[in-house]
């Protein structure tokens, strides 16, 4: 099981992206989707992506043909699970769907296979409690798309075996993802908890008329986001005081306490505020151009992934 074989269950946007992450690392991937033809369509969409990724050097030295050779369409769930050591579940975000699916997966997968959910919001305890092999279930939540954005949140249920977490962590590292290992499950995992804390303040600043939504974006994308993109929040502050993080805390904790006192109040996002921000966004991006802009985002993410790899090679990670 040094290499492992992967079954991807559910071949929408996330399942497709996962298949690239696993296959470009040389692992064999079987795609299954209960919808007729969905897996075959997914495979052809993946094939269409690989040339672009290859041109940018994002296939870990493998040719598009090689990568594609590691992905196959499975006609039935049992076929996909046959020999799989890791099942990456990418089903719709419905609690009931996942509750039922994990019973099925547990019954059909080999005993040593890990059952890993891509869910972004459901706690693993909520859909694996009644699964016989619940010790082998956990969440592995990607920040989409995983083949361009490496972070994956690993979230154990209370009954998930530590060895299952460790094997998943090790698998993710081996394919070039960057696992974030939670010691216990918590609403929003890590990324959305951090995002939520920042968003509450962003919405509050706009609600209070302090600053426009566009200027909030500038303050991050032309400001702090440029540090967070290669250091994260703790390294950023560790390097922002002569004596490191302890010194930073001594200098600035009080300022942040003062700020925090005015950050307790939540403002409602929906309704008037949502409309106001939507109108501000519409001035920058016409509402019928969202799809086009999503393609732009994906091109920028790809370019940024290329930059990060080169910058790490040249200057160190």
The CA distances from residue 113 to 5, 67, 82, 125, 130, in Å, are: 9, 23, 10, 18, 18
| CA 167 to chain CA mean position, Å | 18
Q: How near is the Cβ of 112 to its own copies at its closest, in Å?
A: 26
Smallest separation (angstroms) from its own copies to the CB of 185: 9
Interaction of residue 255 with its own copies, rule CB under 8 A: yes
What is the Cα–Cα distance from 39 to 45, expressed in whole angstroms?
A: 10
Where in 204-223 is the site for its own copies (CB under 8 A)?
205, 209-223
Give the interface size with its own copies as a residue count (CB under 8 A): 108
| Binding residue for its own copies, selected from 235, 272, 283, 309, defined by CB under 8 A | 235
The reply to whether 198 sits near its own copies by the rule CB under 8 A is yes
Question: Could you say which of 55, 63, 229, 283 contacts its own copies (CB under 8 A)?
Answer: 229
User: Cβ distance 233 to 245 under 8 Å?
Assistant: no
Type and span of the H or E element at 140: strand 137-142
1 lies in the site for its own copies, by CB under 8 A: no
Given 256, 272, 283, 309, the residue binding its own copies (CB under 8 A): 256
Site for its own copies in 93-122 (CB under 8 A): 121
In angstroms, rounded to a whole number, what is the distance separating the alpha carbons of residues 246 and 220?
A: 25
293 lies in the binding site for its own copies (CB under 8 A): yes
Distances (CA, A) of 157 to 131, 187, 297: 12, 12, 33
The stretches of 24-161 forming alpha helices (DSSP H) are 38-55, 64-69, 77-81, 95-108, 124-128
Return the number of the residue (69 or 268) whose C-beta is nearest its own copies.
268
Nearer to its own copies, 76 or 229 (CB): 229
Q: How far is the CB of 298 from its own copies (least distance, A)?
A: 10
At its nearest, how many Å lie between its own copies and the CB of residue 245? 5
Give the footprint of its own copies on residues 158-187 (CB under 8 A).
178-184, 186-187
- Residue among 12, 99, 269, 309 that touches its own copies (CB under 8 A): 269
140 lies in the binding site for its own copies (CB under 8 A): no
Give CA–CA dist 221/213, Å, rounded: 12
Is residue 267 close enough to count as binding its own copies by CB under 8 A? no
Site string for its own copies, 42-71 (x = CB under 8 A): ------------------------------
The answer to whether the Cα torsion of 77, 136, 194, 246 is positive or negative is: negative
Residues between 272 and 291 that touch its own copies (CB under 8 A) = 274-275, 277-278, 281, 284-285, 287, 290
**Tokens describing residue 5:** 């074989």
CB atoms within 10 A of CB 197: 12
């Amino acid at each position: 099981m040094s290499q492992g074989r992967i079954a991807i269950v559910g071949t929408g946007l996330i399942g497709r992206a996962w298949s690239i992450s696993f296959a470009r690392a040389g692992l064999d991937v079987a795609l299954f989707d209960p919808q007729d033809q969905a897996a075959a369509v997914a495979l052809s969409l993946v094939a269409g992506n690989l040339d672009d990724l290859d041109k940018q050097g994002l296939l870990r030295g493998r040719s598009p043909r090689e990568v594609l050779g590691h992905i196959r369409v499975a006609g039935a769930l049992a076929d996909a699970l046959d020999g799989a050591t890791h099942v990456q579940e990418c089903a719709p975000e419905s609690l009931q769907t996942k509750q039922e699916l994990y019973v099925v997966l547990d019954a059909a997968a080999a005993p040593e296979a890990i059952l890993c959910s891509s869910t972004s919001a459901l706690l693993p305890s909520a859909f694996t409690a009644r699964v016989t092999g619940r010790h082998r279930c956990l969440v592995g939540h990607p920040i989409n798309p995983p083949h361009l954005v490496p972070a994956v949140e690993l979230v154990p249920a209370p009954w998930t075996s530590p060895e299952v977490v460790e094997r998943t962590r090790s698998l993710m590292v081996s394919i070039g993802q960057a696992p974030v290992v939670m010691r216990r499950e918590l609403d929003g995992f890590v990324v959305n908890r951090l995002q939520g804390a920042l968003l509450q303040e962003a919405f509050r600043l706009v609600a209070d008329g302090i600053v426009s939504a566009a200027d909030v974006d500038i303050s991050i994308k032309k400001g702090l986001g440029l540090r967070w993109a290669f250091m994260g929040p703790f390294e950023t502050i560790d390097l922002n005081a002569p004596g490191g993080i302890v010194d930073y805390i001594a200098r600035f904790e009080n300022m942040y306490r003062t700020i925090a006192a005015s950050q307790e109040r939540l403002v409602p996002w929906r309704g008037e505020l949502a409309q106001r921000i939507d109108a501000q966004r519409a001035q920058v991006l016409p509402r019928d151009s969202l799809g086009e802009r999503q393609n732009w985002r994906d091109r920028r993410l790809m370019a940024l992934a290329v930059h990060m790899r080169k910058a790490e090679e040249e200057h160190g990670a």
